[in-house]
C-alpha cells in the first residue's frame, strides 16, 4: 500500500474503502513510520500543530448496576475501586481549577451509572454554571444514557460537549454488555446532536473484537458525524470480566489510531485510556496521528504526571490548544502558575478510559 497516495486521496475529500481500512490495520511493522507520516499530513492539514488536552474528574465512582465487562465500577467487578456518590459542587469546581493548571482545553465531568437521576442532573448543571462563570474551559459531561429533555438541561447550563462511547461494533456489543444495547448508545448520541451539543463518542480497543469490527466502528462513528472520537485501549483490570484480555502492542495501537484518523480525518481523534500502558515508548508517535489526549489521571487508574506529558508535547513541537481566553489564567485562577502542576491532582482515583464510558 502506498500510504502517501492514500493520504492524498483523504486530503482531496475522498473516503477510504473498507479494504484500504483493513490494510491500515494490517500495515507491516517496517511500514509503520511511512503510515504515521502519511497520517501526519492529514492531521496537520486539519488540526495544525495543536493538541487538545482533556482532564477528567470521576464525579461519582462505582455503585453501577450495569455489567460492562471492561469496567471496574460495575457490580460485576471485584476490583476494590473507590465507591462514592456524586461529589459536591465545590469539588467539581476545584477540579476545573486544576484543569486550568495543566493547560486543559476541556474539563470532563464523568459519573458512573446507567443514567443520571434528576437530582444528579440538577446538581451537575448547577456546578457547570459555576465553573463557566469562573473558568474559560470547555465542559464535557459523560453521564450515561440521556434523552432529549436531559440534553436540553445540559445545553441550557452551558455544557459544550457530551461523551457517550459506542465502545465497540454493533455485532460485538453483546459480548461486552448485556444490560443495555448498542442502540441505546446510538440513541443517546442522536439526542445529543438534536440538542445542539457537540458529540463525543469513541472506542475501546482490545476487547476481543475482530479487525472488521474495528473498521465497522470507525465507519459507524463517521456516519454518526460525531465531533470527537476518543480511542481507548483496554487496560485489563484484574477483577473485571475482561481482566485477562491482553494482547495489544504499541504497533497495533498506532495502526488503530491511523485507521480512525484516515476514516474520520476532520474529527478530533483522542488517544484516551491505555495510552501510557499500551503505547509505552511510542507515545510521541501517537501525537503525529491524534490531535487530542487526556492529561492527568483516568477514572480509576493513574495516568502520566502532567509535567511529563507537557514535556513530551513540547519536545515533539506540538502546542496545547486553548479554549477561548484560556491564556489569561491569572484572571481566572489567581496565584496559579500555568505549569504549576501537582501530582495526584484531584485526590480521587480516576478510572481508566474503559471506565470513562458509562
Contact footprint for ligand SF4 (CB under 6 A):
64, 66, 68, 71, 73-74, 112-114, 144, 355, 357-358
User: How far is the C-alpha of 356 from the C-alpha of 276, rounded, in Å?
Assistant: 16
DSSP state of 88: P
Rounded Cα–Cα distance for residues 104 and 193 (Å): 24
How far apart, in Å, are the Cα atoms of 343 and each of 24, 121, 137, 244, 347?
37, 30, 21, 30, 9
How many CA within 13 A on the CB side of residue 156? 10
Minimum separation from the CB atom of position 72 to ligand SF4 (A)? 8
Could you please report the per-residue DSSP string of 157-188?
HT--EEE---BS-GGGHHHH-SSS-HHHHHHH
Q: Which is nearer to ligand SF4, 60 or 267 (CB)?
A: 60
Minimum CB separation of residue 59 from ligand SF4 in Å reads: 12
Q: What is the CA radius of gyration of the chain?
A: 19
User: What is the C-alpha to C-alpha distance for residues 329 and 276, in angstroms, rounded to an integer?
Assistant: 28
- Shortest distance (Å) from residue 74 CB to ligand SF4: 4
Nearer to ligand SF4, 204 or 293 (CB): 204
Q: Which is nearer to ligand SF4, 182 or 288 (CB)?
A: 182
**Cβ closer to ligand SF4: 241 or 320?**
241
Nearest to 240 by CA among 123, 87, 72: 72
The nearest distance, CB 267 to ligand SF4, in angstroms, is: 22
Neighbouring-strand partners of residue 268: 228
Joined grid coordinates for residue 198: 457537540
To the nearest whole angstrom, how small is the minimum distance from the Cβ of residue 37 to ligand SF4?
35
Nearer to ligand SF4, 77 or 220 (CB): 77
Nearer to ligand SF4, 234 or 255 (CB): 234
Cβ distance to ligand SF4 smaller for residue 144 or 320: 144
CB of 253 to ligand SF4, least distance (A): 21
Q: Are 95 and 58 in contact (CB under 8 A)?
A: no
Closest CB 63 distance from ligand SF4, rounded Å:
8
Amino acid at each position: 500500500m502506498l500510504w502517501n497516495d492514500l493520504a492524498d486521496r483523504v486530503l482531496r475529500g475522498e473516503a477510504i474503502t473498507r479494504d484500504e481500512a483493513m490494510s491500515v490495520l494490517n500495515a507491516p511493522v517496517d511500514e509503520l513510520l511511512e503510515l504515521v507520516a502519511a497520517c501526519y499530513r492529514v492531521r496537520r492539514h486539519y488540526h495544525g500543530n495543536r493538541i487538545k488536552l482533556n482532564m477528567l474528574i470521576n464525579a461519582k465512582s462505582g455503585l453501577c448496576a450495569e455489567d460492562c465487562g471492561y469496567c471496574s465500577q460495575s457490580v460485576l467487578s471485584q476490583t476494590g475501586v473507590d465507591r462514592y456518590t456524586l461529589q459536591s459542587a465545590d469539588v467539581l469546581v476545584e477540579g476545573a481549577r486544576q484543569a486550568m493548571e495543566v493547560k486543559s482545553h476541556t474539563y470532563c465531568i464523568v459519573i458512573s451509572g446507567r443514567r443520571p437521576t434528576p437530582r444528579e442532573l440538577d446538581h451537575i448543571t448547577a456546578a457547570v454554571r459555576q465553573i463557566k462563570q469562573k473558568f474559560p474551559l470547555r465542559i464535557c459531561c459523560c453521564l450515561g444514557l440521556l434523552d432529549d429533555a436531559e440534553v436540553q438541561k445540559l445545553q441550557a447550563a452551558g455544557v459544550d460537549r457530551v461523551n457517550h462511547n459506542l465502545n465497540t461494533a454493533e455485532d460485538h456489543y453483546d459480548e461486552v454488555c448485556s444490560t443495555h444495547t448498542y442502540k441505546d448508545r446510538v440513541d443517546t448520541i442522536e439526542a445529543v446532536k438534536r440538542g445542539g451539543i457537540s458529540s463525543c463518542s469513541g472506542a475501546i480497543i482490545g476487547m476481543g473484537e475482530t479487525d472488521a469490527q474495528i473498521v465497522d466502528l470507525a465507519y459507524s462513528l463517521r456516519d454518526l458525524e460525531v465531533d470527537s472520537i476518543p480511542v481507548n485501549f483496554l487496560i485489563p483490570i484484574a477483577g473485571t470480566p475482561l481482566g485477562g484480555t491482553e494482547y495489544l502492542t504499541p504497533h497495533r495501537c498506532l495502526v488503530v489510531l491511523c485507521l480512525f484518523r484516515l476514516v474520520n480525518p476532520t474529527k478530533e481523534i483522542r488517544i484516551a485510556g491505555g495510552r501510557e500502558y499500551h503505547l509505552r515508548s511510542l507515545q510521541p508517535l501517537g501525537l503525529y496521528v491524534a490531535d487530542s489526549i487526556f492529561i492527568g489521571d483516568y477514572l480509576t487508574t493513574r495516568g502520566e504526571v502532567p509535567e511529563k506529558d507537557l514535556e513530551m508535547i513540547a519536545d515533539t513541537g506540538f502546542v496545547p490548544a486553548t479554549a477561548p481566553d484560556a491564556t489569561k489564567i491569572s484572571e481566572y485562577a489567581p496565584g496559579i502558575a500555568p505549569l504549576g502542576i501537582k501530582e495526584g491532582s484531584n485526590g480521587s482515583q480516576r478510572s481508566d478510559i474503559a471506565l470513562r464510558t458509562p
